[in-house]
A and B are shown apart, each in its own frame.
Chain A
Amino acid sequence: MNNRVVEDALLQQSAVAPTKKTVQMPIGVPGYTLTEESREVPVTEPPVWPINKDLKYVGQSVERYDGQAKVSGRARYTSDVQLPGMLYAKFVNAPMPHAKVVSIDTSAAEKYPGVRGVHVIQHVLGNAVLRNPALDAVKYPVVRYAGQPVAAVAATTPAAAEEAAALVKVRYEAIPFVVDEIKARATDAPKVFPGAADEEGSAGGGGGPSDVRQTGNIHGPSIHRHGEIAQGFKDADVVVEGRYVTQVQTHSALETHGVVADWKPELLTVWASTQGTASVREELAGFFKIPLTQVRVITEFMGGGFGAKFGAGNPGVVAAALSNKTGAPVRLMLDREEEHLSVGNRPSSDQTLRIGAKQDGTITAIHLVAYGTAGCGTGAGCSGPASNLYKTAALHTEESDVFINAGPASAMRAPGHPQGAFALEQTIDELAVKLNMEPIDLRDKTDEHPVRRVERQVVRDSDLWKSRNPVAGASQGPVKRGVGMAQSVWYRFVSMSSSAEVRIYKDGSLEVLSAVQDIGSGVKTVMAQILAEQFGVPPAQIAVKVGDTHYPEGPNSGGSMTTLSLTPAVRDAAWQASQMFLSDIAPALGTTSDDLVLVDGEVRSRSGKFAPISFRRAAAKMATSQIAVQAKRIPDYDPKKYLTYGGIDVAEVEVDTELGRIHVRRVLSVHDCGRPMNPAQVISQINGGIIQGISYTLLENRLLDPIYGLMVNPDLEQYKIIGAREIPDIDVRLVEAYIGQSSTDASGIGEAAGVVSIGAAIGNAVYNAIGVRIRQTPMTPAVVLAALRAPAPGKELA
């Protein structure tokens, strides 16, 4: 298309053509509630897709785009990157939890064979920052947790770097510390910060409010209320209350945090193990005060993040500084211990939750008071489920962060929600018992979400739920079986920084580019599927280029944003490119663009001027070598609707009342994510959420020694993570839920998938098995046995 044509088109559009059109979109769940709603959308939007069963590639379980690369070992992760002359960097970490750094002597390290540079950290990232920085008037950052990086060494081999790092002499002046979060709340506890301090969230969430008061180590409360809470409890026929305690979990991604930084005068290139190429670029450009155009971030493959991998962080800025200093590329990958200590975790929670309801199940009041520790960061809030799952006349939530001398938390898969749902969904279960109602019926009464209503029906009809004995503790013998359910909620976050470019080449090959990174959720595959659907070419023939800030901006992959944010831009670009393509080739085919249509990989003439020709042959008629269209995410079609989504998990457990062991035998997982773009990949993520959630509920625990303030299990043997032998049979039922929000109508799944609700589902199943409620995670055998021995109300905590 030449400029003249474009100008004419624009002129015509502004002068005559309307900018909006009305379309009819599928809404609801096929087989249950499917209907249509109209939407006003920009005229440039592609035609509305039908539901998945009527599409060829989208909505199908197309093979993972990079599956072959991953199974063959060809996939190149950041930790695999090797550059000529590359140096290896190693942090020097503080060995104590709270200290002033008096002096740092790097001379011996600098002289060590193979060492090329030593960097002393002046700005440590990740920790909460004092509102009044003058309170920390010291030369070096104050150490607020054991494992905080202090300096780093770059050398020609990893061994030389490690040996030289041990030669950096750091003099510390110890400061009294606190790692017990209950003790930290006391007014006379050692203070982690000398004044109020706040932590910003990342692209993946996390961080806490900065507009709250701070008393000692208590940062908060952050208070939200609607309705009259006192009146709500007065109106209640039944009140249930419980205290729920959850532990700190570490992300434990298999690939640790790290980068390879190559600082050249004209361009800083950084390979990063990140969930946000954009976030790394922004932090590096901001930190070093260089333009964004001089920073390039590349993430070809990424070995797990779960919320902890946003921004450059300490490894990123230190590696870049060392590369700048030495003139060589520098790799800085954390070791396993550092990964546990310094780059994030899921905060703990200590929640007191009180719910009042009428005899018919109508909820009149929800009151949550929550504390939690995000170490020397903030972000332990967990009121999301209590605030967003059920209709209530009155709601009152108070959330406080408690500072302790431990590594700062970061966003972790559905921040705050596994904790919040663990308390809320067990309390709702307890309410059902008190009201003598079925747990599903109670939720039907109070949960107005139309899709979860369908999902409850799926649960109700399932064999697993039908096998549940409503009488708690009814099984005979020492091993007792139970079934329980819980619901999850997550939110529709859209990143408008989502663009894609689609290119059609004259040889008929197709390419789509975006800076977005594929963190394992499979967005590359979905991008290929969208082009395949548009051009009628198998997805494997589409070239997908992602994970590079040289490409059009991509969303950071956090908060379940990637697929729902990016795919409409991909589809819009593909559609617009196809239209431009038809205009471009029409003259060569002796017709006009309105006569042409691209269907099933063929270009056809509506008027029958010529026999259908393949897309590839048609491409050969292009006037120039390539057609490229970049499209950017447009806002949701109706941003006031369908703001949340979620699902339901049902767990079947066996509780050995003699050994205290809980075994999760089966899980039924019923979830929605808008239009599922690739069901196999969605199911993979749901499996993952369930498995991570079981691991969190039963096993994982970051243990801090109160005497020395050190983590005692910073490894993968004492920090227990679920393994192959404990995996239950997981039955995932995907519920297609059309919501009419974009040209793809996709939602996310990473957060809502299981991890939010499985803990409470297990708790409710355990109650159903043994008639005792476990209100604490991890539910270790010791916790279970203590609860069995002391089942008096309010005394269940081991």
Chain B
Amino acid sequence: MSDPSESRPAEGKNDSATAADSGRTGISRRGFLKGAGLTAAGTALLDGVQAFSSEAPGASTHGVTELGPGPVPVRLHVNGAEHTVQIEPRTTLAEALRMHLGMTGTKVVCDRGVCSGCTFWLDKMPVNSCMTLAIDAVGHNVTTIEGISSEGEIHPLQAAFVKHDAMQCGFCTPGMVMSCAALLERNPHPSEHDVRHAISGNLCRCGTYPKIFAATLDVAGVTRNA
């Protein structure tokens, strides 16, 4: 996971005491590690849990602020726009997107991180939103299927999915697009093996895989020629 400080939105001068703010102004990384008793193995977790601050009122004896269990305001940066939602801290990002922001393009299928139907980008990394607490996305750029098109133009990969009929019922399609587009971001010239690997966690029950391979490789070819 990349350092969130690199991708953190530049503004964030809102005075309201949101979870996002406490994350930014609160505990240092070292302080958190100490307070939560985390070891270096917890680094991946760390990027996500800075919403919990030790220095805000209500700090626990462990030096960690307890938010909730009731709704708290959380500021999310989704598809280039700031949104503040009132959610319980246990709310997953998938729930926050679908129920609180009306972004239902992200699909929940297994709700336990095995099918990748709910894939979004945390910064540029494809991540399961059913396994990500919304508060863990604070301070990151969240990109969803609704956000990968730019200025009304659909993403070349989305166009390729349509061209190759890389869908049937369409329920896995947003997750597939997000995983394959993330692959193209980090590797513009993938092999079929790379594509298979990139979506090895994405489950499709209609059996659209062959056309997803074709669509993704088609875009890679276009990139190559360009």
The verdict on A11 contacting chain B, using a C-beta distance below 8 Å, is: no
B194 CB, nearest partner CB in chain A, Å: 11
A590: chain B residues within 8 A (beta carbon): none
Cβ–Cβ contact A717 & B114, under 8 A: yes
For residue B195, which residue of chain A has the nearest CB?
Answer: A724
CB-based contact B169/A72 at 8 Å: no
Neighbour of A159 across the interface among B88, B103, B200, B211, CB < 8 A: B88
Contact, CB under 8 Å: A688 / B105: no
Given A66-B170, A301-B170, A725-B197, residue A306 in contact with residue B203 (CB < 8 A):
no
Q: In whole angstroms, what is the CA distance A71 to B103 when docked?
A: 14
Q: Give the number of residues in A that approach B within 8 Å (Cβ atoms).
A: 57
**Partner among A73, A255, A336, A683 whose Cβ is within 8 Å of the Cβ of B174:** A73
B-facing residues in A501-519 (Cβ within 8 Å): 519
Q: Output the residue of A73, A335, A716 with the most chain B CB within 10 A.
A: A73
Contact with B along A50-68 (1 / 0, CB 8 A): 0000000000010110111
A78-106 interface bits toward B, Cβ cutoff 8 Å, 1 = contact, 0 = none: 01101000000000000000000000000
Within 8 A of A (CB), among B178-226: 195-197, 199-213
User: Closest B-chain residue to A717, C-beta based?
Assistant: B114
Known contacts A67-B165, A303-B170, A715-B112; A73 and B104 CB within 8 A of each other: yes
**B99 proximal to A (CB < 8 A):** yes
Query: Once the chains bind, are B207 and A77 in contact (CB under 8 Å)?
Result: no
| A692 within 8 Å of B (CB atoms) | yes
| A723 adjacent to chain B (CB < 8 Å) | yes
Q: Does A148 contact B (CB under 8 A)?
A: no
Contact B169 A64 (CB under 8 A): no
* Neighbour of A520 across the interface among B90, B117, B170, B201, CB < 8 A: B170
In whole Å, how far is B116's beta carbon from the nearest beta carbon of chain A?
10
For residue A676, CB closer than 8 A to chain B, the reply is: no
CB distance B171 to A303 under 8 Å? yes
- In the complex, whether A685 has a CB less than 8 A from a CB of chain B is yes
Instruction: Say yes or no: is A496 at the interface (Cβ < 8 Å to chain B).
Output: no
- Our pick among B98, B145, B169, B199 for the contact of A254 (Cβ within 8 Å) is B169
A residues in contact with B199, CB < 8 Å? 724
A254 and B205 in contact (CB under 8 A), knowing A64-B167, A72-B149, A73-B145? Answer: yes
Given A67-B165, A254-B115, A254-B203, residue A684 in contact with residue B173 (CB < 8 A): no
| Chain B residues numbered 119-155 whose CB sits less than 8 Å from any CB in chain A | 144-146, 149, 154
Select one of A72, A336, A691, A729 contacting B145, CB under 8 A: A72
Q: Which residues of chain A come closer than 8 Å to B99, judged between CB atoms?
A: 82
Interface check B76, CB cutoff 8 A = no
Q: How far is the CB of A133 from chain B (nearest CB, A)?
A: 37
CB distance from A410 to the nearest CB of B (A): 15
Q: How far is the CA of A730 from the CA of B210 in the complex (A)?
A: 8
B171 touches A255 (CB 8 A): yes
Task: Tell me, in angstroms, the Cα distance from A730 to B207 when the chains sit together.
Answer: 11
Given the contacts A80-B98, A691-B209, A716-B109, A304 and B169 also touching, CB distance less than 8 Å: yes
Interface pair A721/B203, CB less than 8 Å apart: yes
The yes or no answer to A183 lying at the interface (CB within 8 A) is: no
B170 and A70 contacting across the interface, CB-CB below 8 Å: yes
Q: Are A306 and B205 in contact (CB under 8 A)?
A: yes
> Is A620's beta carbon under 8 Å from chain B?
no
Q: Which residues of B contact A725 (CB under 8 A)?
A: 196-197, 200
Docked-complex contact A336 and B168, CB < 8 angstroms: no
| Contacting pair B114 A716 (CB below 8 A) | yes
User: In the complex, what distance in Å separates the CA atom of A120 from the CA atom of B96?
Assistant: 31
Residue ID in chain B nearest A519 by CB atoms: B169
| Cα A721 to Cα B95 with chains together (Å) | 26
Decide: A715 near B114, CB < 8 A? Known: A70-B173, A255-B171: yes
Determine if B75 is an interface residue (Cβ-Cβ < 8 Å).
Answer: no
Kindly report which residue of chain A lies nearest to residue B155, judged by CB atoms.
Answer: A71
A582 at the interface (CB under 8 A from B): no
Complex contact B203–A71 (CB within 8 A): no
**How far apart are B69's CB and chain A's nearest CB, in angstroms?**
10
Contact stretch, chosen from B8-16, B33-41, B156-164? B156-164
Contact of A688 among B108, B114, B158, B208 (CB under 8 A): B208
Instruction: Write out the residue numbers on chain B whose beta carbons fall within 8 Å of the beta carbon of A692.
Output: 205, 207
Q: Which 7 A-B pairs have the closest CB atoms?
A: A73-B105, A688-B207, A303-B171, A691-B207, A520-B169, A70-B170, A80-B104
Can you pick out 15 interface pairs between chain A and chain B where the beta carbons lie within 8 Å of each other? A67-B162, A72-B105, A72-B149, A73-B104, A159-B88, A253-B169, A253-B171, A255-B109, A303-B171, A519-B169, A520-B168, A684-B207, A687-B210, A690-B207, A692-B207
Interface set of A (CB-CB < 8 Å, partner B): 61, 63-64, 66-77, 79-80, 82, 158-159, 251-255, 301-304, 306, 335-336, 519-522, 680-681, 683-685, 687-692, 715-717, 721, 723-725, 727, 729-730
